[in-house]
Amino acid sequence: METALNLKDILQKIIADRQPILLSDRYKDWEAPDLLTSLSESILSRQAHMQSGLYIAEISEQGYLGTVLYRIKSKPVEEQC
């Protein structure tokens, strides 16, 4: 079974892989570096799962997918440069 990652690990991987995506919560679209610097350590340490192209969801203590934290959106082409 795949080792669970925390939200910080997922954001760092998105940044390292230079993935051209935005992470959308119900209020705004975020860049991964912005989330990494603005979220508290307690939020960043939450266990999470990224389903590429769809979402990042929290993993419950029981090991099940929980709340969707961010929906993944492709960046518009002009923002990818």
Residue 74 within a domain: no
Using one digit for the tens of pLDDT, what is the confidence trace for 19-28?
A: 999 999 999 9
Query: What residue numbers bound the domain in which 20 lies?
Result: 5-67
Residue 51 within a domain: yes
Is the pLDDT reported for residue 81 higher than 80?
Answer: no
Number of domains in the chain: 1
Residue 77 within a domain: no
- In the block, which residue shows the tokens 């760092």? 12
Residue 76 within a domain: no
Using one digit for the tens of pLDDT, what is the confidence trace for 6-39?
A: 999 999 999 999 999 999 999 999 999 999 999 9
Residue 30 within a domain: yes
Is the pLDDT reported for residue 45 higher than 90?
Answer: yes
